[in-house]
């Protein structure tokens, strides 16, 4: 694409072009390896166009990578709200929670994988934005969990925050490293079976006691 063709695009089209290009660059090179110059060159636009939409690399990263990820977590909250009037049973609610997070991370893992290398991959500004986003998500999840704990008699609200963080950590770990941890290809060939096992672990752990039927425990 030439700069002349790009200049005929609307502001919204240029913004989306930059975001799509940034996602590809981050997926291929990682955050540290992909410069704004790379994004500009691949998108066929000028640097002034990029900086008009995204004043810094951290801003571009937040919109290109974090925003789609956050929307997936927001869907988790919407799904939870839908069942408040007619509550799902414990297993169905846990499945909804884990499935939403697992599939969301799998969908974006080609871009999120560099984050697994740790904060050294990101700039200080990007780390700060990422931490702020994650803490906001955990605040939402903690509210949901505390309300359900009271309604369902799962456990004391004390310690709910760490329970949620451990549960999300399990789902994120399997989502990112299923290729290494799980039997060969299982996460790709049968994701529902992987989700089913995480649901069983989640139900046992969040209740803080084994299920009544030991035969129904995790495989």
* CATH code, residues 1-55: 1.10.10.60
In this prediction, residue 18 carries a pLDDT of 95
Portions of the chain given CATH number 1.10.357.10: 56-216
In this prediction, residue 133 carries a pLDDT of 83
The two tokens of residue 147 are 């309300």
b vs e for 14-27, b when ≥16 Cβ sit within 10 Å of the residue's Cβ? bbebbbebbbbbbb
| Cα atoms in the Cβ-side hemisphere of radius 13 Å centred on 187 | 19
Residue 5: is its pLDDT beyond 60? no
Contact at 8 Å (CB) between 105 and 88? no
Query: In this structure, what are the phi and psi dihedrals at residue 19, rounded to the nearest 5 degrees?
Result: -65, -45
In this prediction, residue 164 carries a pLDDT of 87
149-189 pLDDT, tens per residue? 888 887 666 778 888 898 888 988 888 788 888 887 666 67
DSSP code at position 87: P
End-to-end CA, the chain = 52
Portions of the chain given CATH number 1.10.10.60: 1-55
C-alpha to C-alpha distance for 89 and 117, rounded to whole angstroms: 37
Residue 204: is its pLDDT beyond 80? no
79-136 pLDDT, tens per residue? 899 999 899 998 999 999 899 888 888 887 766 666 665 666 677 887 888 888 888 8
Domain 56-216 has CATH 3.40.190.10: no
49-91 pLDDT, tens per residue? 999 999 998 889 888 888 877 777 788 888 899 999 899 998 9
The two tokens of residue 81 are 């709200």
DSSP code at position 65: I
Contact at 8 Å (CB) between 54 and 60? yes
How many CB atoms lie under 10 A from the CB of residue 146?
A: 17
C-alpha to C-alpha distance for 146 and 157, rounded to whole angstroms: 6
């Amino acid at each position: 694409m030439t700069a002349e063709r790009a200049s005929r695009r609307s502001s919204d089209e240029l913004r989306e072009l930059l975001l799509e290009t940034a996602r590809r660059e981050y997926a291929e090179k990682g955050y540290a390896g992909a410069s704004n110059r790379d994004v500009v060159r691949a998108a066929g636009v000028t640097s002034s166009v990029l900086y008009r939409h995204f004043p810094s690399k951290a801003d571009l990263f937040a919109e290109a990578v974090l925003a789609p990820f956050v929307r997936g977590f927001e869907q988790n909250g919407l799904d939870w709200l839908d069942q408040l009037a007619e509550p799902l049973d414990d297993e169905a609610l846990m499945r909804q929670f884990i499935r939403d997070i697992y599939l969301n991370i799998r969908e974006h893992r080609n871009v999120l994988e560099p984050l697994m290398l740790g904060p050294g991959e990101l700039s200080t500004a990007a780390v700060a934005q990422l931490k702020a986003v994650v803490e906001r998500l955990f605040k939402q999840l903690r509210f949901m969990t505390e309300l359900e704990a009271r309604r369902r008699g799962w456990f004391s609200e004390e310690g709910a925050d760490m329970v949620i963080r451990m549960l999300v950590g399990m789902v994120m770990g399997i989502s990112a490293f299923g290729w290494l941890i799980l039997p060969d290809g299982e996460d790709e060939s049968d994701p529902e079976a992987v989700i089913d096992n995480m649901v069983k672990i989640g139900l046992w752990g969040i209740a803080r006691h084994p299920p009544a039927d030991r035969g129904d425990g995790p495989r």
